[in-house]
Amino acid sequence: MASHNPNRRQQILETLALQLESNPGSRITTAGLASAVGVSEAALYRHFASKAKMFEALIDFAEESVFGLINNILAQDKDVVTRCDKIMRVVLGFSDKNPGITRILLGDALVGENDRLRVRVNRFFQRLETQFKQILREANLGHGMRATATIDATANQLLILLEGKMGAYVRSEFAINPTDYWQDQWELLQKSLFKQG
């Protein structure tokens, strides 16, 4: 059994993310990736059974990073408006710092790749929407702020906004930052999304 050098694995993933960022709209080949890492294709496959496994590792990283931070927010903040704002900032901030992974999450980098990867990224966004619904449900049990519309409509609105800002980032080849205008947009949004219970 070949030994798995964790540093080499990390280097492969970082190089893949960088290639996704620096070649928007291009498909990444294992030959190109191996060349960028400075190893043979065979060496790549010693660390990852397939290119799909490399993409999966980056999706895992996105999930662990984003949902780890969301758990901290839920532990520290109880106010529904603050929780939603901070979660939106976490996802937009992650997108800003990880443009290549943003391409994967939006499916842009998955054209022609394994269908299982699409299921994985769909699950990432479904999990976010479920988290928003949970927060909104909890808010309805209290006497503070709550969703103006239904829980489902509000959670979906938040998710669509995230996907839209991330999509504009990818479409602009990372010129339009996903966090641009967020403060002003949130001020505007929270007035329509939330009301006093």
Write the pLDDT tens digit of every residue in 66-83.
999 999 999 999 999 999
Q: Give the DSSP H/E element, type plus range, for residue 47.
A: helix 41-47
Average pLDDT in the 60-65 region?
97
> Using 50, 70 and 90 to split pLDDT, how confident is the model at 109?
confident
> Using 50, 70 and 90 to split pLDDT, how confident is the model at 25?
confident
19: Cα within 13 Å, side-chain hemisphere: 22
Q: Is the pLDDT of residue 28 over 90?
A: no
Average pLDDT in the 13-31 region?
89
Q: Specify whether the CB–CB gap between 62 and 105 falls below 8 A.
A: yes
Q: What is the pLDDT of residues 175-194, one digit of tens each?
A: 999 999 999 999 999 999 99
Q: What is the pLDDT of residues 138-168, one digit of tens each?
A: 999 988 999 999 999 999 999 999 999 999 9
> Using 50, 70 and 90 to split pLDDT, how confident is the model at 133?
very high
Q: CA 113 from chain center: how many Å?
A: 18
pTM metric for this prediction? 0.92
Q: Is the pLDDT of residue 118 over 50?
A: yes
Average pLDDT in the 131-139 region?
97
> Using 50, 70 and 90 to split pLDDT, how confident is the model at 114?
confident
- Distance between CA atoms of residues 6 and 11, nearest Å: 9
Q: Is the pLDDT of residue 54 over 70?
A: yes
91: Cα within 13 Å, side-chain hemisphere: 28
